[in-house]
Structure 1
């Protein structure tokens, strides 16, 4: 497609695709700020996590399937369908009259988001050859950071001044603009499906493998223990269907998951690094706001903005890294450098204490974000460049899929670590008077880090928990207990940051295995995947940067 589209039209398409991506990326942050009002209106606090779980399940499960469909039948119609489904889910979510309805309609939103995610980066791949794609992939990755910054601001303003329902309705005008623009400016991609049929059995088996796997990890990290029948059942079902999936894919003429891709070293390394870094990144990032608010005293008013330094730095890193890759034609060392910077930032976070300043925490987050900005788009580009253009959608989707699955697993594991470490640190920090004199319900309440984020809950803990039991000593014991809780929370979260550092260092080591393949200057050029093992890929022109500059 890139040879058929004028430069001005490319930018119009890019802006429309970015707007669609922005909608789905902003959704999780904007909805999170409105959830207290949603719970107050619809009740169902016990279903709180399902509002996010249903979206995650539908989105993550659909991404690899839709990526393959785009490769076969063309991407435009699926991207448009994604926006329509997402808008329908938004309207229905805003009109929900119960938590059950909201959970169901959030799943519809997630399905639309999966369609959008699966096609957005592949459309950029259609527009730009690998040699010039880096700068634009960097811009696209920056959309996620921008959405994370703007989402809480918009969500808070809408919730305070209008209604939580408008958190969903606000998607409508933006989505309609993206829908109209894509319809007008994006050429209908020529289907490459002559003689190719979608692997329906593989699609069903993949969905059946992924959904219970993610659900099991989500439950294990939130609602049940790792040995609970519900969790074990999910893992058993997922394992059985994985075996079925492998059998189907080995026999399928057009597999949803082309297993031969994993014999491609560059693709395999890129996916492995993406998955491993997803485990460490999500696990660490989830606890950054908790540390900043509960330990470093960020105000609750700015709760949604505590990760702003990380996200702004990620946008900058994405833009700079993309430009460097496009100008030099090299992606390996910018990827290695980015992963190293990310691991350094996570290690810096692990060194924080309850006495650290807010400025120190913000600086550490910025280092982490800058490294991620280098790494995320370049791993996607490396994987895309290593496979035939006919597999662009599958590869683009699988990088998103690997990061999401890794993140879900990481959050679940670290949730268990957090609980165990908090109990351990708190047991050693509480005064003997409190440990011996406080009843079991009060001791259990002290184990919840959320108490430190809610001044009203702290006041209740003092007035209804400590004063009736400890009398004149209540203030002294309460202040000492709160200090111990903050110290225990800080130690528990920094333990998680340190484990995440080790995981990020593993991903850092994996990126050294990434082979440096010359970036193709056209989408039609043969990839390493298409080159016989005994034939070296044709190198890019000596002045690839100048070629790119003239064609951009």
Structure 2
């Protein structure tokens, strides 16, 4: 039996006063901060962790384990929240995340730490997915852009604060505190969720859980993400172990599609992908994330290899991109609410990202601080103009009953797009460097390689721009 939608559940937006909305959004920002901080705070503590626990060869899995677990569970949490309600599922997510943090802080060995990071990731996927879905329960799409900027800014803030906190904990306390810090933050997030979300609407239908679909989502996505990790390690897309992972993932993906076509309440409703606005929105989000995540990794590397800047100097020059992303997301979100239109802002963002990537490919970066600041600021603004409006676009395109799985799919494809983008553009860079490595590469050799990287990034951004040309402008639903 194919997926058959049942009676739509219309949220009662009028039930929440402006003060209640502000309070709820603050709680959601805390949950998002909790999940996002964990991805960045660990980076500066990795060497200290390896020094205490050993297992240098397993070190990269401390990061990868969390990323994979949180990514593959994102659509599952979104669907469960559609069936059981946001509040109970978010409370469970917080508990799993904090439990994983305690296990990580007490880990006696590297394998134990990696296992604890998997547990943390299982909770982190729910924190991220459901926090964004709750916005759809308290505000209509026409007003939703007002808060999307704040939520997007939470990600950027965690990216800035995370490495700083991690360094301070390692220097003055111990690496375990990068995990202990999650206990007070988690307690605050749990309390905010418990008290503030009690009035959220609950589904009025009897859920039928597609557990087979949930298992197949994990079995199809995990090998794909493992394959990406192996590509980055091997520096080649033709690595046998990576190809094996990709093949296994595709087999389970076909199985997943067949499974979801045969159940009444699938974990991943395929009818959503028949909606052209939803499908194009997912594509634009994934392509944009490919460019953004790759440039966040490779621009600092360009500064260091070509311009000879220190890691500290390269990090300082990245502040403009971060501030641009926060500002762009906030301004675009406000503009969407004010005008009721989203397509012009997404089109502007993809166009600017394409133009700036081409400009860097032609002129390079690291030679003129003012020009670097302007270019990276515009890149950040372009990313913000895409991400904030796309959240509104995708949720507005589906029925309210599917709001959780819709926003979770967007988050999932953003994460997958970012992972593929980093692997793809890193491979392009290494293919054009002598010996296939950045170590010891002379600036005059590295500069042409980075030019090619930015040309490829411009091509991906241009493809996203083409998708926006076909994106239909639907009226944003209001309170009526």
Q: TM-score range by the shorter chain?
A: over 0.9
Partner residue, 1:513:
470
State the shift of 1:352 in Å: 4.4
Larger radius of gyration: 1
Partner residue, 2:4:
none
Change (3 A) 1:239 1:354: closer
Match of 2:450 among 485, 493, 502: 493
Q: Which runs of 5+ in 2 are unaligned?
A: 1-11
Equivalent residue pairs, number: 469
Partner residue, 1:337:
348
Please tell me whether the aligned partners of residues 347 and 465 of structure 2 are also in contact (alpha carbons under 8 angstroms).
Answer: yes
In the superposition, the TM-score normalised over structure 2's length comes to 0.93
State the shift of 1:66 in Å: 0.7
Match of 1:98 among 91, 101, 109: 109
Partner residue, 1:462:
none
**Aligned residues: CA RMSD:** 1.9
Match of 2:36 among 21, 25, 28: 25
Match of 2:137 among 126, 133, 137: 126
Partner residue, 1:247:
258
State the shift of 1:160 in Å: 1.9
1:112-141, Cα deviation, whole Å (9 max, x unpaired)? 110111101110111110010011112111
Change (3 A) 1:47 1:359: farther
Looking at structure 1, the residues matched to 445 and 58 of structure 2 have their Cα atoms a distance apart, in angstroms, of 28
Partner residue, 1:287:
298
In the superposition, the TM-score normalised over structure 1's length comes to 0.81
Looking at structure 1, the residues matched to 439 and 109 of structure 2 have their Cα atoms a distance apart, in angstroms, of 25
Q: Does 1:504 align with 2:458?
A: no
Looking at structure 2, the residues matched to 59 and 332 of structure 1 have their Cα atoms a distance apart, in angstroms, of 30
Q: Which runs of 5+ in 1 are unaligned?
A: 424-443, 452-483, 526-552
State the shift of 1:224 in Å: 6.8
**Higher normalized contact order (CA 8 Å, seq sep 6+, divided by chain length):** 2
State the shift of 1:191 in Å: 3.2
State the shift of 1:285 in Å: 2.3
Q: Which runs of 4+ in 1 moved over 6 A?
A: none
Looking at structure 1, the residues matched to 123 and 226 of structure 2 have their Cα atoms a distance apart, in angstroms, of 19
Match of 1:371 among 382, 407, 410: 382
For 1:117-156, list aligned pairs within 5 A: 117-156=128-167
Looking at structure 2, the residues matched to 245 and 502 of structure 1 have their Cα atoms a distance apart, in angstroms, of 31
For 1:408-427, list aligned pairs within 5 A: 408-423=419-434
1:293-326, Cα deviation, whole Å (9 max, x unpaired)? 3333443346655422111111111111011110
Please tell me whether the aligned partners of residues 230 and 242 of structure 2 are also in contact (alpha carbons under 8 angstroms).
Answer: yes
Looking at structure 2, the residues matched to 305 and 19 of structure 1 have their Cα atoms a distance apart, in angstroms, of 26
Q: Does 1:88 align with 2:45?
A: no
Looking at structure 1, the residues matched to 235 and 414 of structure 2 have their Cα atoms a distance apart, in angstroms, of 24
Match of 1:76 among 69, 77, 87: 87
State the shift of 1:183 in Å: 1.1
Looking at structure 2, the residues matched to 355 and 381 of structure 1 have their Cα atoms a distance apart, in angstroms, of 36
State the shift of 1:42 in Å: 2.1
